[in-house]
Amino acid sequence: MNLTPLKPGIFFHIYNRGNNRESVFHTPENHRYFLELYARHVSPVAKTYAYCLLPNHFHFLVCIRTIKEQEAWHANPMNNPSETEFQVLDASQRFGNLFNAYAKAFNRAYNRTGSLFQKPFQRNPIGDDQYRQTVVYYIHRNPERHGLCNDFSRWPYSSYRTILSSLPTRLERDSVLGWFGGRGSFRLAHQHIIDDEPDRYFYESPDDLL
């Protein structure tokens, strides 16, 4: 399989699921720990605009940082970088580190062995503004789309409510709200019925991540 390289300055829809469609999140602590590892491993190399964690898969909308953006992130003491000296980091490797670190902890906690996530993780480059906006509300509406809840806005493991809030966040909230023209338009866009969106826009099959 030829995967698109995670090039700096490019937006990507990142997604993956458990091996053999196995659940990868069982408890609120699992979700919290995954996001902590995400902040540690991925934030230095990618800006995050939206996410959703579901029982057996996840979605992120990111933009890979340029070298200058990596350097600026590292120079900000608020980010508490683990490396003492700045070095250019490879985005694919950092995502791999996230998945490996989480899998090791998950396997220990649940007395299991073997690979937790499918390999390689999937990524779709996003080449235009309309696609980018569609991916945002596709990600947020995913729990309802898969029948996990009746109201996607109440799903606790997505960025939807954080984007609408004023609480501190690592998300690129202002940018996302700017794409939609503010909170009101952001809410309105999420009311679209997306079941008629062509599935090729995201996956080869509508059930690919079930």
**What radius of gyration do the chain's Cα atoms show?**
17
pLDDT at residue 193 greater than cutoff 60: no
Q: Is the pLDDT of residue 190 over 50?
A: yes
Each residue's pLDDT tens digit, 135-171: 999 999 999 989 999 999 999 999 999 999 999 999 9
pLDDT for residue 12 is more than 60:
yes
Say if residue 27 is exposed, middle or buried (CB neighbours under 10 Å; 0-12, 13-18, 19+).
Answer: exposed
DSSP 14-45: EEEEBGGG--S--SHHHHHHHHHHHHHHTTTT
| pLDDT tens-place string over residues 55-111 | 999 999 999 999 999 999 989 888 876 667 788 899 999 999 999 999 999 999 999
Tell which CATH architecture fits domain 11-198.
Answer: 2-Layer Sandwich (3.30)
pTM, two decimal places: 0.89
Q: For residue 208, is pLDDT > 50?
A: no
Q: What is d(CA 111, CA 20) in angstroms, rounded to the nearest whole number?
A: 17
Task: Please determine, for residue 27, whether its predicted confidence score (pLDDT) is greater than 90.
Answer: yes
Report domain extents, the chain: 11-198
